[in-house]
Amino acid sequence: MPKKVLILSGGWAGHEPEKTSEIFRHDLTTAGLDVTIATTLDALLAPDLARTYDLIVPNWTMAELTGPQEAALCAAIESGVGLAGIHGGMGDAFRPNANYQFIVGGQFVAHPDNHHDYLVHITKPNDPIVAGIDDFVFHSEQYYMHVDPGNEVLATTTFETRAAPWTNGTVMPAVWKRHHGAGRVFYSSLGHNAQQVELPPVR
């Protein structure tokens, strides 16, 4: 039986959730997984959520989870379901939901200078997630985030901005993994829209 994935697709249109969710679906299906895309957060209320899915991919910038939705998602991850996502679809999702942010290990707060060139530095090149990817320059929003110090960081960026010069020199985690209960969590702040997600080192 193939492992099953639930992609939650919605939220702020500027991150192109429909297009990026289809990229995720393509790559996950190619890897042999069984993928479902849901366009309602009530998909989290399925009574057998934790038994049905092996991985949940939030791709839903902003918005808010109801109490039952948040409780169901937290329980699923704690029981062993994985959580993985990118950019605002996971790191700027469900801003009022602190329990969700606890699982993610970080929360977007700003992107000084908006879209600009910055270096992505691979900090653990032997990790299988980033193996074979060299440091690269990326033109996008550079996410300044509040980050859990317990994350296992796989890539960082260093801030050099005009809009917020007091942040200059700050080394910011950009890609990490972590555990939450029995669940494994992956996050990448890279990939503002479908065009950026399709760039080889990001994808």
Exposed, middle or buried, 151 (CB in 10 Å: 0-12/13-18/19+)?
middle
- Three-state SS annotation for 139-167: EEECCEEEECCCCEEEEEEECCCCCCHHH
Instruction: Report residue 137's pLDDT band, with 50, 70 and 90 as the boundaries.
Output: very high
Tens-digit pLDDT profile for residues 145-178: 999 999 999 999 999 999 999 999 999 999 999 9
- Helix, strand, coil: what percent of the chain each, to 5? 30, 35, 35
What is the average per-residue pLDDT within 120-125?
98
pLDDT, position 199: 97
